[in-house]
Amino acid sequence: MSSMPATILDTIGNTPLLALRTIVPTNGARILLKLEARNPTGSMKDRMALAMIEAPEADGRLKPGGAVVEYTGGSTGVSLALVCAVKGHPLHLVTSDAFSREKLDHMRLLGARLTLVPSENGKQTEKLTRDMIAEAHRIARELGAYITAQMENTDQLAAYTRLADEIWEQTGGRIDAFVQSVGTAAALRGTSEALRQYDRKIRCIAVEPAESAVLSGGPSGAHKIDGIGAGYVVPLWHDGIADEIERVSTEEARAMAFRLAAEEGLFCGTSTGANVTAALRLAARLGPDATIVTIMCDTGMKYLKTFSQAQDL
């Protein structure tokens, strides 16, 4: 008989791996989706938020009851709000009207205090990212608080080693490629490094918004794929992380998210739509025997109002 979790934080991770059955490559290759929407807040960011708090707690950088500050497009903020609520850390988040209202509401309901930085017409841009970061650092200095600073925080990489271990175990070591969209770059970096420890031949593919494809040498631009595409080359990124970089547009990502809901019953966000779009393209190149793993980053419930407006429901 399994033991009962002590807190909600003990239910983070160990998410299912599911083979897509309708939205599949024409050549017979398999695409497996890691259902990170099964984490407590409905997002893979629960893993990294826990790691970013537990490491400084362990070494004394974050004292019991100490305040925490972060800048966030939404999911990281919600996940940190959950972790800080359970652990008793006051949390101040810097975010923006560019991100889904559902995420902002969720952060507040979990007890976080929010500062909103205005965007240009609801779009994510390099300027917005940098403005949010600057404001978060200012608040942390003013409060004397611990800033998790997700864009440069290496404590979170341990969370993605665990994710890779789960993927390896669940596939029985039968995996040819891993595909993941890039926000801070920690998920792709941590997971790919750990997967390559198992098998150097596993190909690792980065996904970025076509409108702001800075990792692959394009100009910085505005897009609406929540949680990815900071608009500049982020500190945790280095060229050895990915074997290839795939560009996916906001329109393609949103269309695939809607298809996953209607054809697979998987209600997800646009970053997942981008992941699956890129995985399908990769499958066409790798051939019929390939097994490709990608991530269902979060639940579409985080975007319900946004999606409804897009669909004119």
Name the active-site residue from 34, 43, 45, 119: 45
Q: Indicate the burial class of 162 (C-beta count within 10 angstroms; 0-12, 13-18, 19 or more).
A: middle
Q: Using alpha carbons, select from 211, 224, 306 the residue that is nearest to residue 267.
A: 306
Task: Answer yes or no: 100 catalytic.
Answer: no
207, 57 contact by CB (below 8 A): no
Residue located via tokens 């939404």: 74
Residue 203: which H helix or E strand, with range?
strand 203-209
Task: Answer yes or no: 123 catalytic.
Answer: no
Name the active-site residue from 75, 100, 192, 271: 271
- Strand, helix or coil at 92? strand
User: 127 — alpha (psi -120 to 50), left (phi > 0) or beta?
Assistant: alpha
Report the C-alpha gap between 274 and 43 in whole angstroms: 16
166, 13 contact by CB (below 8 A): yes
Active site residues: 45, 271
